[in-house]
DNA sequence: CCTATTGTAAACTACTTAGTTTAGTTCCAG
DNA sequence: CTGGAACTAAACTAAGTAGTTTACAATAGG
């Protein structure tokens, strides 16, 4: 009776998922047809339906996997020998690179579109993506190394502000198809300005050892 | 031969648009059926098709109107006797209130979802919404009153940063259905923190009259 | 009052959809 | 070589889709 039991079986499973991912990302849930998925997957419809009870379960399975993949994205990479400021820049750049990637864009778009139809999907996307990322950044901000340079009260809030400053105009532009691949220079500028604003607020003031509200 | 000529006619036009808006916002483009729109509009399908040549034109017309409505949202209201800092708070609060509204959320969601299928739609949503808002904020930041207190080089970038700091986690949470109506206190906190960070970067330093790079 | 316009409901066309079934094929273990 | 499992293409069902047409009703202007 557990939810998983209905899904999965033999050896063409991955192939089906791959085709489904491609079509769902391209067309959304309503726009995708099962015939197209089967064709794209190089698999017969009967096979597809031997793996998944229906279109919805297939859709959910695809996006569950995308969420897992997304949660494994690491914006922090353990790069030794970087100052906190440099590290902040690296974090920002990785974050931007991620949401500019085809993967990031497609998953984001589909999840926004179908969050109403599949409520648990929106939740799990949010948690494996933005929330997960913000928490990783917050952990870094709480580290001794960071705290030596930064004076932060609410690390999660600060992490979120940094992430938001990175996303900037770009996330919206990309989401609405206004600009699809910004130049490296443009990205560097945004990163630079984001970190500048972040440090203006959170850089520890030289003198006083205590924290100011 | 001009694009407009195909659409519009008599007196039930608004009714059709209203029904179409309701259904499209609820279901998206593919998910919405013309029968449902006609039913929801309290109009026969034949009447609907006497106003619009097809589903796509109807969809575009609805969203064109939403974009116009969106572009008329004013985040600045001319409120006299407010300090620049207070004004920034008001701007932030209005911005948040807007994207938390049903209207803001629905339009945003549908536009993201259909930006691939209807490229010009994404563009015009972006321009009438986020871009338009940022430009209004930038105009304020460039005003003498604001410049007396703030030291800003690139007003549009600063405006965008302020807007992003406002959106914070909230926009994403709302978009993915994680949190639908945050408390007033929560909003106030975000506004407060956004303005704090913004001012930390852009508040004119007491002493020097010139601007620093 | 009469007629043209604008509306209506409902049937209809031609097509697509999700999902099932059938009859036959490939593949591999024993 | 055999038997069973997994797979296939293709036909099929039942329902829904966009868009058209038909035959009829309400409403207004002159």
| Nearest-Cα residue of chain A relative to residue B117 | A27
Statement: residue A6 has pLDDT above 90: no
Establish whether the CB of B28 is closer than 7 Å to any nucleic acid atom in strand D: no
pLDDT confidence tier of residue B210, bands split at 50, 70 and 90: very low
Structural domains of chain A sorted by starting position, each given as residue range(s) with its CATH number in brackets: 3-62 (1.10.10.60), 71-202 (1.10.357.10)
Distance in angstroms: CA B35, C1' C7: 17
- SS3 letters for B76-132? CCCCCCCCHHHHHHHHHHHHHHHHHCHHHHHHHHHHHHHCCCCHHHHHHHHHHHHHH
Instruction: Please check whether residue B174 is in contact with residue B107, taking contact to mean a CB–CB distance below 8 angstroms.
Output: no
A211 touches chain B (CB under 8 A): no
pTM of the predicted model, to two decimals?
A: 0.89
Q: Do B177 and A111 touch (CB under 8 A)?
A: no
Per-residue CA distances from A94 to A30, A99, A184, B165 (Å): 32, 9, 12, 19
Question: Measured between alpha carbons, how far is A141 from A154 in angstroms, rounded to an integer?
Answer: 10
Statement: residue B211 has pLDDT above 50: no
Percent of the residues in chain B that have a pLDDT greater than 90, as a whole number:
85
Q: Do A113 and B165 touch (CB under 8 A)?
A: no
Residue listed under structure tokens 């089967």: A38
B38-77 tens-digit pLDDT:
999 999 999 999 999 999 999 999 999 999 999 999 998 8
SS3 A150: strand
Question: Measured between alpha carbons, how far is A49 from A55 in angstroms, rounded to an integer?
Answer: 9
Establish whether the CB of B6 is closer than 7 Å to any nucleic acid atom in strand D: no
Statement: residue A57 has pLDDT above 50: yes
Measured between beta carbons, the chain B residues lying within 8 angstroms of A193 are 157, 161
B104-127 tens-digit pLDDT:
999 999 999 999 899 999 999 999
Question: Measured between alpha carbons, how far is A62 from A51 in angstroms, rounded to an integer?
Answer: 13
pLDDT confidence tier of residue A2, bands split at 50, 70 and 90: very low
A157 touches chain B (CB under 8 A): yes
The predicted pLDDT at position B9 comes to: 60
Q: Do A126 and B194 touch (CB under 8 A)?
A: no
């Amino acid at each position: 009776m557990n939810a998983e039991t209905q899904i999965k079986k033999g050896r063409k499973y991955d192939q089906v998922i791959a085709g489904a991912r491609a079509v769902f990302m391209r067309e959304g849930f309503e726009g995708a047809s099962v015939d197209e998925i089967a064709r794209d997957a190089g698999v017969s419809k009967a096979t597809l339906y031997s793996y998944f009870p229906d279109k919805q379960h297939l859709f959910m399975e695809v996006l569950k996997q995308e969420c897992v993949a997304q949660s494994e994205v690491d914006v922090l990479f353990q790069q030794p020998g970087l100052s906190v400021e440099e590290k902040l820049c690296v974090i920002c750049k990785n974050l931007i690179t991620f949401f500019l990637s085809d993967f990031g864009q497609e998953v984001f778009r589909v999840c926004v579109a179908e969050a109403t139809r599949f409520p648990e999907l929106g939740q799990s996307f949010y948690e494996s993506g933005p929330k997960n990322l913000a928490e990783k950044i917050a952990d870094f901000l709480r580290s001794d190394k960071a705290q030596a340079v930064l004076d932060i009260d609410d690390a999660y809030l600060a992490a979120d502000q940094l992430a938001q400053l990175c996303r900037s105009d770009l996330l919206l532009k990309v989401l609405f198809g206004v600009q699809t691949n910004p130049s490296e220079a443009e990205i560097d500028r945004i990163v630079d300005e984001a970190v500048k604003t972040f440090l203006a607020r959170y850089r520890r003031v030289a003198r006083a050892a205590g924290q100011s509200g």
